[in-house]
Structure 1
Amino acid sequence: MELFYYLLFAGLSAVVALVELSKTSKDRVAGSAAFNSFKNNYLVVYSLMMAGDWLQGPYVYFLYSQYGFDKGDIGRLFIAGFGSSMLFGTVVGSLADKQGRKRACVLYCITYILSCITKHSPQYKVLMLGRILGGIATSLLFSAFESWLVAEHNKRGFEPQWLSLTFSKAIFLGNGLIAIVAGLFANLLADNLGFGPVAPFDAAACFLAIGMAIILSSWNENYGDSSDNKNLLSQFKGAAIAIASDEKIALLGAIQSLFEGSMYTFVFLWTPALSPNDEDIPHGFIFATFMLSSMLGSSIASRLMARPTIKVESYMQIVFIISACTLLLPIVTNFLLLPAGVKGGTISFAGCIQLFGFCTFEACVGIFWPSIMKMRSQYIPEEARSTIMNFFRIPLNVFVCIVLYNVNAFPITIMFGMCSIFLFMASVLQRRLMVVAESHKSNWTMTKERETGTEPLNI
């Protein structure tokens, strides 16, 4: 079975390389020297930020267990992280629109570094504080950096279509290549070099500090609505009104919550799905394969978004349907294939089928991230961008907390079936978003024609 894993990884590597090398001049977006410098600066910072995040992932659960905490204690720590992201993170992230996106990015670095430091303590209260800080940092990571990028890109007068290139490259690096390297580096520090499970968190703090230094020295500040008479409550009220009054924003938020909720649920479910009888599976190698699949997805997204004739709203409907079908595989294999009755051993035939499906799902995740970023840049108003983006994360975090709390209450097939239904719903809402967006664009064009006197005459 080791040959199977290596063949799968090698095959995906070859496909990623082929997609990247086969890009034609039509697929590549040629920017100016100033844009390329701006883009590369952002990509370096974003990669460092994601390295600080990915380095921690493989050893969080293991470190808590090494300190002697049981599954229930660890579960409460994870729930605290998502709950913190929902409550405190939403407030702190929304302050970025008023206090500045650059400051919010620096705050991300500081809170996450402090969270890393708490991992040195075996005290439960200190670790709980670290999870709360980590939840705040997560909200900032997924709102402040994107908000700063969109505002700065527009302020510098770069072409709107060039933004898609930055998004796709950021996901290719930050959620693909960096994730793979970070996982291997964390394993090297903790196991091969014998520094223990705290070492990856120390390395993460170092990368975050380097990124913060680059932000402080090279980034300009930008704001959403910085008016003095607008307090935080007014910002929330304005964001809520914007979501309620614009169907496109509401649909985008629902789509994001449905997909990301399914994605985070998948993170908790893929291990028991592939090893229902305690099969010996290489978790690190499978994780690297997932990240490679995500890289393939971001490469595909880059090619799709580079073509002006292909609309994001159109192809994302297909992506959501494919995602829904892949998460149905555990249910299908459970009914069609007899489960192995022997504990241990290698991955089963049903597990191999599911693994191919999960890799496909991760490729869809790689397409999703830059595509949702592009749609957010088009539909979310600049003055409340960070606030609205954090509003989108509230139902997501509620959903993940509920799943974590009840992860042992339902069979795994029920959980996957629920995720598949959510993804089908996302496809339906995506279809509705495309219809609304086209209708709005058509109405806007007719209005401009009337204003300029170029409206065609009906004879």
Structure 2
Amino acid sequence: MEVFYFVVFGALGLVVAALELSKTSRDRVNTSGPFNSFKNNYLVVYSLMMAGDWLQGPYVYYLYSQYGFGKKEIGQLFIAGFGSSMLFGTIVASLADKHGRKKACVTYCFTYILSCITKHSPQYKVLMLGRVLGGIATSLLFSAFESWLVAEHNKRGFDQQWLSVTFSKAVFLGNGLVAILSGLVGNVLVDTLSLGAVAPFDAASCFLAVGMAIILSSWSENYGDPSDSKDLITQFKGAAGHIASDKKIALLGAIQSLFEGSMYTFVFLWTPALSPNDEDIPHGFIFATFMLSSMLGSSLAARLLARSSLRVESYMQTVFVVSAAALFIPVATSFLVATPNVKGGGISFSGCIQLLGFCAFEACVGLFWPSLMKMRSQYIPEEARSTIMNFFRIPLNIFVCVVLYNVDAFPISLMFGMCSIFLFVASLLQRRLMLISESQKPKLHRGGSPVESEMETQPLNV
């Protein structure tokens, strides 16, 4: 079965390389020197931030088990992280709109470094504190940096089309190449150098510290609404008002929650799905294959986003349908393919089929992130960007906590079936978003002068 892994990995690598090398002028966006300097600075920082996150991921569960904690205690620690992201993280990240996105990004670095330091203690309470800090940091990672980028991009007067270049490159590097390299570095630290399970967390702290130094020395501050007259409650009410009064924002939030909820559920389920009888599977190699698939998706997204004639709302419907079909494969194989009951051994034929489907889903993840960032830059108002983005994460975190709490209560095939349904619903909501967006496009007089539609001229009741 090792041959199967190498064939899949090699094929994906060749496709990614071919996509990158075969780009034509139609697939590229002509940019300026100042923008390229700005973009490269952001990509370096974002890659360092993602390295700090990816280095920790594969070793959190392993470290807790090394400290002697069982599945129940580890599950509680994971739930604490997602719960913290939902509660405290939403509040802290929302402060970025008022007090500054740069400060929020620095807070992310500082908070995550503290979270890494707590991993040196085997005390349950200290580790719980680390999970709370990590949850806060996660909310900042997925809101503050994007909010700073969009605001700074607009403040410097760069072309809106160029945002898609930064988004696609950020996903290609941060969620693809950096993830693969982080896995390899972590493997060297823990297995080759035998530095212990806490070593990747120390390495993550170093990357975060370097990134924080670059932010402090080269980034300028920007805000959503720095008005002192708005307290946090007023900010939340304003963000909720935007969501309630604009169907596009509400639909975008629902789509994000459905997809991310399915994605995080997949993260927990892919290991038992591929090894239901404790088959010996190469977790690190499979993880690298998933990340390579994500790179393939982000590379394809870069091509699609570069074409101004193609709307992101249109092709994302297909992405959601494909992702729904990919996560339905474990359901289909449970009925159509016999699973051997022999313990151990290599991956089964059913597992091979599922692995191909999971690679397709990861490619959809690579397509999803830059495309979602593009839609958020179009639809979410600047004055409340971080607050609204973290509103979207509330139902996501509730869903993941429920799944974690009940992960042993339902068959894996049922959980994948639920995710598949969620993704199909996301495709329907995406179509609805596209239709609303099309209906609100500026209309033209016969002479060619633009006239705003009636819906666009309606003020928001916030």
TM interval, short-chain normalised: over 0.9
Instruction: Look up the match of 1:131.
Output: 131
Q: d(CA) in 1 for partners of 2:152 and 2:450?
A: 31
Aligned position for 1:94: 94
CA distance in 2, matches of 1:31, 1:450: 30
Which whole-Å deviations, capped at 9, do the CAs of 1:186-226 have from their partners, x for residues lacking one? Answer: 01001100100000000000000000000000000000011
Give the distance between the partners of 1:227 and 1:448, measured in 2 at CA: 37
Matched, 1:4 2:1: no
Match of 1:265 in 2: 265
2:438 counterpart of 1:427: no
2:334 matched residue in structure 1 = 334
Deviations 1:208-262 (A, max 9, x none): 0000000000000000011110111100000000000000000000000000000
Q: Does 1:252 find its partner at 2:245?
A: no
- 1:362 is aligned to 362
Q: Name the amino acid aligned to 2:34.
A: A
1:308-337 per-position Cα deviation (integer Å, ceiling 9, x unaligned) = 111100000000000000111011111111
Alignment of 1:165-184 (within 5 A): 165-184=165-184
**In 2, Cα distance between equivalents of 1:384 and 1:36:** 27
1:265 Cα deviation after fit: 0.1
Alpha-carbon distance between aligned partners in 1 of 2:19 and 2:103, rounded to the nearest angstrom: 37
Instruction: Look up the SS of the partner of 1:369 in the other structure.
Output: helix
1:214 maps to which residue? 214
Match of residue 296 from structure 2: 296
Cα distance, 1:28 vs structure 2: 1.0
Deviation at 1:444, TM superposition (A): 8.9
Q: Deviations over 1:4-57 (max 9, x none)?
A: 111111111000000000100111112110000000000000000000000001
Map 1:32-51; keep pairs closer than 5 Å: 32-51=32-51
Matched, 1:83 2:80: no
Query: What code does the residue aligned with 2:133 have?
Result: L
Quick one: distance in 1 between partners of 2:64 and 2:395?
27
Determine if contact 2:443/2:451 at 8 Å carries over to the other structure. Answer: no
1-structure distance, mates of 2:338, 2:437: 47
Tell me the residue number matched to 1:227.
Answer: 227
* Map of 2:308 onto structure 1: 308
**SS state at 1:327 partner:** helix
Alpha-carbon offset, residue 338 of structure 1: 1.0
Residue type at the aligned position of 1:241: G
Could you say what secondary structure the match of 1:225 adopts?
A: coil
Counterpart residue identity of residue 244, structure 1: A
Counterpart residue number, 1:436: 436
Q: What's the secondary structure of 1:339's corresponding residue?
A: coil
* Distance apart, 1:442 and its partner CA: 4.0
> Who is 2:417 aligned against?
417
Equivalent residues of 2:115, 2:134 under 8 A apart: yes
Q: Is the 8 A contact 2:253 2:392 kept in 1?
A: yes
Deviation at 1:341, TM superposition (A): 1.8
- Give 3-state SS (helix, strand or coil) of 2:441's partner: helix
Structure 1 position 358, deviation (Å): 0.2
**Aligned letter for 1:270?**
W
Counterpart-to-counterpart distance in 2, 1:54 and 1:323: 23
- The runs of 5 or more residues in structure 2 that have no matched partner are 453-462
- In the alignment, which residue of structure 2 is the partner of 1:19? 19
Instruction: Show the counterpart of 1:457.
Output: none
Deviation of the 1:360 alpha carbon: 0.3
Unaligned runs of 5+ in 1: 452-459
Q: Offset at 1:339? A: 1.1
2:25 is paired with a residue whose SS is coil
Supply the AA of the counterpart residue of 2:399.
F
438-447 vs 58-67, greater mean Cα deviation = 438-447
Q: Give the % identical residues.
A: 78
- The structural deviation recorded for 1:448 is 6.7
Q: Does the alignment pair 1:377 with 2:377?
A: yes
Deviations 1:107-142 (CA, angstroms, capped at 9, x unpaired): 000000000000000000000000000000000000
TM-score by length of 2: 0.96
State the Cα deviation string for residues 152-202 of structure 1 (Å, max 9, x = none).
000000000000000000000000000000001001001100100000000
Identify the range of structure 1 (243-252 vs 329-338) with the bigger mean alpha-carbon deviation.
Answer: 329-338
By how many angstroms is 1:62 displaced? 0.4
- The alignment's C-alpha RMSD in Å is 1.2
Shift of the alpha carbon at 1:449?
3.9
Find the residue that maps to 2:276 and give its secondary structure: coil
Amino acid at match of 1:34: P
Letter in 1 for 2:276: P
Corresponding residue of 2:68 = 68
In structure 1, the partner of 2:320 is 320
* Superposed counterparts of 1:145-160, under 5 Å: 145-160=145-160
Distance between the aligned counterparts of 2:146 and 2:189, measured in 1?
A: 31
